Structure 1
Amino acid sequence: MSEVIDELHPWSWSSYATLADVLPAIDAAFDGEQSAAVPIPASKDVVLLLIDGLGDSLLARHADVAPTLTSLRSTIIRAGFPATTATSITSLMSGTSCGTHGVIGYSFRTDRDATRAPNRQLLNALRWTLDRSDGRSALDTYVPEEIQPLAGLLPEMAGRGVDVTYVMPGLYRGSGFSRAAFRVDGTYRPAQKPAEILAGITETLAEPGSGHRLVYAYWPDLDAAGHLFGPGSPQWVKTLGVVDRLVADLVSGLPHDTALVVTGDHGMIEADNRIDIDTTDEMLKGVEAVAGEMRVRHVYTRPGARDAVQAFWTDVVGDHAHVVAREQVLDEEWFGEEVTDVVAERVGDLVAVARGTTILTRSLTDPQIEVNMAGHHGAWTAAEQLVPVLVARG
C-alpha cells in the first residue's frame, strides 16, 4: 500500500506525540530541561515557525529540494484529529487536544439543543463566519473566547515572564480565530512574505532582553499551493524550496542560546475520487446540517433519523469512507482522551472520515474555490496526519 493511503487508525495514535506537546516542550526548554516527547534543547529564546501544510511524508518525498529542512528533522509527530489548520493551531497554542479546547474542525455546530440555540448556525472556525467560509461574520453570534474558553499554556508562560511576539500576516490580527487560538496579546509584527518573516524574527531577537522570548511565526503559502495545484505539483515544489531557503537564512543568523523549531499543522493528499453529498440521491434525507471539510464531515441528523442516515451513507460510500456514530467517536477518543461535555455537544451525530484519496464534496453548498481544490487534508492518512519537527540551535 502506498504511503499516501496508509491509515493511522485511532488505536495507533498513542504511539505519536502531537502538536499539543510542542508548547510544553518549549516551556521545558526554557526551564533547562528536554521533553522526551518533542526534544528541544535548553534555550533562552525559542522561535516557533509553523509552515502551513508541511507534512512529513511530502517532505521526505521531496527531500532533494529541501536539504536544510531535511537535515534538521528531529522527530515526527501527529497533527491531531481532524488534521486541519483551525484545530491544529489551537492545539499548538493551548497545549491541549480539541476535545478540551473545542475547535473540533474547519466548521461545526456549537449546540445540539434546539431550545437553547434555535438556529444552530454552523461556525466556520478558521474564517469565523456563519455556515460557509465566505458567509457573514460570526462575531456577533459566537464570541471566540466563549467557543474556546481555555486559556491554555501560553498565558501561563506569559504570566511567568515569557515575552511573546507574533510574526504573521497583519490581516490575522484581532480576527475571531486569532482571538480563540492566541490568548496572549503579545507584540505583533505583520509579515506576509518570507523576507518580512525573516526580518521580523531577526529584529525581535536583536532587541535586548533578559527574560525568555517566544517568537511565533506563520507562513500559509505552502498550504495554498497544495490546495490550488496539488501537493507535489511544480508550484508546490517551488514553494517548498522557498520554505527551505527561509529556514536556511534563519539558521545562519540564529543568535547564541536560541532554538529554532519548525513544524506543520497537517500534511495533504491529492483527491481523485469525489462523492458529492449534494447531488447523490437522498444523501441529505434525514440530515439537518453537514459541517467539517471534505475529508472529515460532521453530519447532524434529524431526530430519530440517525441510524437510517448512517446505513444509507455507509452503503453509498462503501470502502471510501468510515461513517461512525457519535458515541463510538467519543468512546474511541478521536478528539482526545478528554472531551468536555460542552465540546461533546459539538460532535456530529455521525462523523464521516474519507479514506484513501476520496473527498466528500458539496458542489451546491460550499464555495466553488473549495469544491474545485486539488489538495485536501483532515483525515487519518499518514500523509495528512504526520508532520515533522525540525530543530536548530544557535
Structure 2
Amino acid sequence: MDRLHELLPGSWPDDPTLADLAGSASSALGFGADRPLPIPDSHTVVILMVDGLGDLLLHEHSVFAPTLLAHRAMPLRVGFPSTTATSLTSLGTGLPCAEHGVLGYSFAPRDLDPAVEHTLNALRWTLDTADGPPADGLYPPTEVQPMPSAFDELTHAGAAVITLMPELFRESGLTRAAYGTPADYRDASSPNAVRDQAVELLAAGDQGPRLVYAYLPNLDAAGHRWGPGTPEWQERLRRIDDVAAAIVEALQPGATLVVTGDHGMITAGRRIDIDTTPALTEGVRAVGGEARVRHVYAEPGRADDVFTRWAHELDGHAHVATRDQVLAERWFGAPAAAHVTERIGDVVAVAGRDTLLTRSVHEPMETMMPGHHGGWTVAELLVPLIIATG
C-alpha cells in the first residue's frame, strides 16, 4: 500500500479504533461487557503505548522489531487529527475527539476564551507556542477536558491502576486531561525503567485485577529529530522491541501485554510557510494545529474570505474546508459536543501526501523537523495492535 494514500472522511471504516482500547482492557479485567478489541480475560493487562509507532513503519522496519511483529494482531485507526494529545486523550477517556475536545497539538478553546486571545498547546499545556507560558490558569485541564477518564473509573471500580511514565509528566495538563488523576504514578523515564518495573510487577503474579499503563516517547522524539526510518529511529525501535520481549518473557498465565501507538509518521516533503504568505495571514486572528493539519480562526466577519483565499492558495496541496463541512462530515469521529464545536477552526486545512503547512516565525522548531504527523494518510492514521499472553 502507498504509505501516503489518504483515508478521507467518509471512507474511514467503522472498525474499532484506539478509543476502544481502555474499555476493552477494562472488560478483560472483569469490568464491563463491551470488548471491541480481542484482549483475553486477564488478571493483569499491561498496555505499552509507544509514541510514534505506526503500523506501516513497523512493517517497513520489522527486522528491528521481531517481537512486536510476531504478536501483531491487527491494525487500529487512531482518531483525527493523528497526533499525540488527541490520541492519548482518546485512549484515556475512551472517547473520540469530537466528544473529549482535545482537538490536536494546538487549538483555541473558544468556549472558554471567546475573544481567542490565545491558543492552547495541548501537548505542553502552554499558551500559543510550545515554549509559551503555562496555560493552566486560562485553560484548566478539567475544563478543557471535563469527561472522566477510563483509568479513574477503573480505579473506582476496584482495580489497581499503575502508570509508568516519566516524572516530568506527572502533573502536566495533558496527563490530567487524558488520564485523570493516577493514584499510583511511578517514575519510568527510560525504556529500561519501564521494562524493569513492568517485569517486577508481573513477577508478583495474580494480585487481583490490575491495569499497568506505560508510555514510551523515545521513538516519536527520534522521528521528529532525525526522521522516521533513519538509523537513529531504527535503534530506538530495536530498544523498544527488547523491552517488549522482556515483558513477554515475564508474562504468567492470566497476564496480557498490549502494545500500540498513538500515530504513525511521514517524512516532510513540500513546505508551505503560512507566516510568510500574505494570502494565508490576511483576516486571520489565530492559527492552531500543526504542520499537517491547521485550525484557522478568522477575524469577525472574515471567515468566508479566509476560506476562499486558503482554498485558492493551497489548491492541490491541502484539503480546505469550512467548519460547517467538518461538522457535517464528522472529521473528529462523531457528532461534536457543543463546546467542542466552538473550538474547531472557522477553516480547517489538512495537508495532502507529504506537504507541510509550516509557521517559520511562530513555530521555528517544528518547522525544521523532518518527521511529522497529524494528517490522514495511512502512514499517520494506522497503528498496530500487538497482543501477547502468558
Shorter-chain TM-score: which interval?
over 0.9
Return the letter of the residue paired with 1:224.
Answer: A
Instruction: Please give the secondary structure, in 2, of the residue aligned with 1:39.
Output: coil
Instruction: Please give the secondary structure, in 2, of the residue aligned with 1:292.
Output: coil
- Give the drift of 1:32: 8.8
Give the TM-score normalised by the residue count of structure 1: 0.95
Q: Which residue, out of 263, 268, 273, partners 1:266?
A: 263
Quote the Cα distance in structure 2 between the aligned partners of 1:117 and 1:159: 35
Q: Which residue, out of 365, 368, 373, partners 1:372?
A: 368
Q: Output aligned runs, 1:168-183, within 5 Å.
A: 168-183=165-180
- Give the drift of 1:34: 8.6
Per-residue CA deviation, residues 128-153 of structure 1 (Å, 9 max, x unaligned), is 00000110001121111111000043
Partner residue, 1:102: 101
Partner residue, 1:131: 128
Return the letter of the residue paired with 1:342.
Answer: H
Q: Is the 8 A contact 1:111 1:120 kept in 2?
A: no
- Give the drift of 1:118: 3.7
1:70 aligned to 2:105?
A: no
Return the letter of the residue paired with 1:293.
Answer: E
Change (3 A) 1:371 1:183: same
- Give the drift of 1:281: 2.9
Per-residue CA deviation, residues 146-178 of structure 1 (Å, 9 max, x unaligned), is 110000432221111111101111100011111
- Give the drift of 1:31: 2.3
Q: Is the 8 A contact 2:29 2:209 kept in 1?
A: yes
- Give the drift of 1:120: 3.0
- Give the drift of 1:364: 0.9
- Give the drift of 1:302: 1.2
Q: Is the 8 A contact 1:49 1:216 kept in 2?
A: yes
Per-residue CA deviation, residues 276-324 of structure 1 (Å, 9 max, x unaligned), is 0011233200111100110010000112222221121112111110010
Partner residue, 2:377: 381
Instruction: Please give the secondary structure, in 1, of the residue aligned with 2:339.
Output: helix
Change (3 A) 1:54 1:313: same
Quote the Cα distance in structure 1 between the aligned partners of 2:33 and 2:111: 42
- Give the drift of 1:338: 2.9
Partner residue, 2:343: 346
List gaps (5 residues or longer) in structure 2. Answer: none
Q: Which residue, out of 354, 358, 361, partners 1:357?
A: 354
Per-residue CA deviation, residues 331-374 of structure 1 (Å, 9 max, x unaligned), is 111112131100111000010000000000000111x2211000
Q: Output aligned runs, 1:135-150, within 5 Å.
A: 135-150=132-147
Partner residue, 1:153: 150
List gaps (5 residues or longer) in structure 1. Answer: none
Per-residue CA deviation, residues 170-208 of structure 1 (Å, 9 max, x unaligned), is 100011111111114221111122211111212233447
Percent identity reads: 48
Aligned-residue CA RMSD (Å): 1.7
Aligned length: 390
Instruction: Please give the secondary structure, in 2, of the residue aligned with 1:14.
Output: coil
- Give the drift of 1:21: 0.6
- Give the drift of 1:209: 6.0
Change (3 A) 1:236 1:210: closer
Q: Output aligned runs, 1:192-203, within 5 Å.
A: 192-203=189-200
Quote the Cα distance in structure 2 between the aligned partners of 1:185 and 1:33: 20
Q: Output aligned runs, 1:226-375, within 5 Å.
A: 226-366=223-363, 368-375=364-371
1:54 aligned to 2:53?
A: yes
Return the letter of the residue paired with 1:276.
Answer: D
Q: Is the 8 A contact 1:273 1:359 kept in 2?
A: yes
Deviates more, 1:153-162 or 1:296-305: 153-162
Q: Is the 8 A contact 2:279 2:313 kept in 1?
A: no
Q: Is the 8 A contact 2:279 2:310 kept in 1?
A: no
Return the letter of the residue paired with 2:383.
Answer: V
Quote the Cα distance in structure 1 between the aligned partners of 2:15 and 2:238: 27
Quote the Cα distance in structure 2 between the aligned partners of 1:166 and 1:191: 9
Give the TM-score normalised by the residue count of structure 2: 0.96
Instruction: Please give the secondary structure, in 2, of the residue aligned with 1:99.
Output: helix
